[in-house]
Amino acid sequence: AQKVTQAQTEISVVEKEDVTLDCVYETRDTTYYLFWYKQPPSGELVFLIRRNSFDEQNEISGRYSWNFQKSTSSFNFTITASQVVDSAVYFCALRPPETSGSRLTFGEGTQLTVNP
């Protein structure tokens, strides 16, 4: 069975602070994909990043960066110089290979509030 844990339920920071959202996952599969989605107050789920389990290279996209460590089953997400518009719920998700059903398993989400 797959499981995704986002231990931080809520995080509150002041604008321009850096913030890291933690994600730990469990799976018996050797091949899988990890995702981060953002849910702003408007409610829709917005795709942020996808990472293959074989690719442990960290990724940076503007103010966003992701640290994937297979040894600790973690896929953490850092926002540098946070802005008010970053306020949202962020979900980490795991997708196993199709032989295991290929459904997205989401974590509980982390509510990020960036205050001006």
Partner 1 sequence: DSGVTQTPKHLITATGQRVTLRCSPRSGDLSVYWYQQSLDQGLQFLIQYYNGEERAKGNILERFSAQQFPDLHSELNLSSLELGDSALYFCASSVGGSTNEKLFFGSGTQLSVL
The DSSP bridge partners found for residue 26 are 3
Q: Which stretch binds partner 1 (CB under 8 A): 8-16, 46-54, 64-72, 78-86?
A: 46-54
Q: Least distance in Å: CB of 97 to partner 1?
A: 5
**Which residues lie below 8 Å from residue 112, measured CB to CB, with a gap of 6+?**
10, 11, 12, 13, 19, 21, 79, 82, 86, 87, 88, 89, 90
Q: Does 42 bind partner 1 (CB under 8 A)?
A: yes
The DSSP 8-state label assigned to residue 114 in this structure reads E
**Does 22 help bind partner 1 (rule: CB under 8 A)?**
no
- Compute the least distance from the CB of residue 14 to partner 1, in Å: 28
Mask 66-95, x = binds partner 1 (CB under 8 A)? -------------------------x---x
